[in-house]
A and B are shown apart, each in its own frame.
Chain A
Amino acid sequence: MMPAMTVEPILRAKGVNKSFGALKVLFDVDFHVMPGEAVGVVGPNGAGKTTLFGALAGSFPVSSGAIQLGGRDLSGTSAAERCRLGLARTHQVPKPFLGMTVFENVHVAARAGAGMDQTRATAEAADILRRTGLMPLANRPAAALGLLDRKRLEVARALATQPNVILLDEIGGGLTEAELVALVDLIRSLQADGLTVVWIEHILHALLRVVTRLVCMAEGRVLAQGDPRDVMAHPEVQRAYLGSSPE
């Protein structure tokens, strides 16, 4: 028998509140992710999912509450510092450097995000392009990419910063069924390599093929969390998020 061990969450939000001006968006949100875990985040439009990511990633200061990464308190650390500490994030609206090639985008992320030197960044970028299936497009300008490849590039740029935890914000939106299958395969392979994944997604059938725990937010609060099936069956989740009971 293995001795019982207490594993600490790799990422944690404790009692986080966030207001934008007079608008209160997050109310005492507690959230945690265990190392290697894949957690899904769902909830109605405007529930505060992207804002939670912003709070975790340090895109803005929280109004109150604490964020911890690997047990370390992150208050006062910038988004760039959090990135160097192993926390990466993709954006709901991808923001690559449009004038740069795919390779250059990933290379810049490796240099700026992980502080690699030129030689290491080049090797790392090549490896990531291979893993994300972008190698054939390495020399294309990012502006010329289709949606799936823009999403892949968004993931590739996040990976280049050498994260332990990756926050994915609606990277499945707009993809066809076949493209979703490719995306799910990619995320699963990343998780199999040890990456901790937190994924906000409205396309549930894709999300549920990856995550083992689901958090549903509504109106700035955590409405339910736990086993994905239990969360989906939760009457409040059905009412607020699904809108109709799934037959």
Chain B
Amino acid sequence: MTSAQKPALTLTDLVGRHGQLQAIKGLSLTVEPNEVLAVIGANGAGKTTLMRMIAGLHPVAEGGILLHGAPVTTMPAHERVKAGIALSPEGRRLFGDMTVAENLMIAAENGRKGDWTLSTVCDAFPQLTPLLGRLAGGLSGGQRQAVAIGRALISNPSVILLDEVSLGLSPAAVEGLYESLAGLKGQVTLIVVEQDLTRAMGFASRLICIAEGVLELDGTPATLSRQQITDAYFGIHKAEEPSHA
């Protein structure tokens, strides 16, 4: 079997801890190449911990992670970037005393070679162009978020993890971002943590909900009802009340 046919990501019985607390409690998940997966769940449910574990920024206490069939469970974060995993925006903080262009170029050098370069990233995110010569330390919240996403792309990942992707972006910028991301469909595996449920359901081909560190729900936007999703947010397995339909 070639690596292209293997799942992009295979998570097996993953456990992640914060001190005594189990944030991820034995989570298993297989993500196919080029799948568009939306991850939802309450704050504190473990979504960010899970993203950080996949990216190598949070230790895996138990279980394993395969990237295209190859184990990466103990691989350091910078090697996972070279292996094709990119996380935004949590990966690394921007270097505040370097320009936006320098921040992007460093990410390009430390990543893989491919279609994403400074100029293609700026084509996809036009709002970055006027910022290239500016020091990253002076950027507004939304400008930083845009740079962080650009930095993930420029490493030419095969698996892109976008945590809280629209955080701090204006409605117009969110619209533009999702248009750009839609252009990536079919070329990369996209895993997007998104609090806007309507947005998540409209964009993704598959939706999972994490509640208290476990996978509570897994399905396609077409087959999941809002009620199922709402229940899953709170870790409720049964419907609360009969519907009056």
Chain A residues in contact with chain B, CB under 8 A? 20, 23, 42-46, 49-50, 92-93, 144, 146-148, 170, 173-179, 202, 204, 240-244
Which A residues are CB-close (under 8 A) to B171? 202, 204, 241-244
* Chain B interface size, under 10 / 10 to 19 / 20 to 34 / 35 or more: 20 to 34
* Min CB–CB distance A148 → chain B (angstroms): 5
A178 to B45, CA, bound (A): 14
> Given that A174-B195, A202-B168, A243-B171 are known contacts, is A146 also in contact with B142, CB under 8 Å in the complex?
no
Alpha-carbon gap, A244 to B174, bound state (A): 11
Task: Let me know if B164 and A244 touch, CB within 8 A.
Answer: no
Identify which of residues 137-158 in chain B touch chain A, using a CB-to-CB cut-off of 8 Å. 138-143, 145-146
Cβ-defined contact, B168 with A45, below 8 A: yes
Q: With a CB–CB cut-off of 8 A, which chain B residues contact A240?
A: 172
- A241 B172 Cβ-Cβ under 8 A: yes
Could you pull out 17 A-B pairs where Cβ atoms are within 8 angstroms?
A: A20-B138, A23-B134, A44-B170, A44-B172, A45-B142, A45-B143, A45-B145, A46-B140, A50-B141, A92-B141, A92-B168, A146-B44, A178-B42, A179-B42, A202-B170, A241-B171, A243-B176
Binding site for A on B (CB under 8 A): 18, 42-44, 127, 134, 138-143, 145-146, 164, 167-173, 175-176, 195, 197, 233
B175 neighbours in A (Cβ, 8 Å) = 243-244
Complex Cα distance, B18 from A179, in Å, reads 23
With A46-B142, A173-B168 in contact, do A243 and B173 touch (Cβ < 8 Å)? yes
A45 touches which of B44, B134, B138, B146 (Cβ 8 Å): B146
Which residues does chain B contribute within 8 Å of A43, judged by CB atoms?
Answer: 170
Per the bound structure, the CA–CA distance linking A146 and B48 in Å amounts to 11
Q: Known contacts A176-B195, A243-B173: does B140 contact A45 (CB below 8 Å)? A: yes
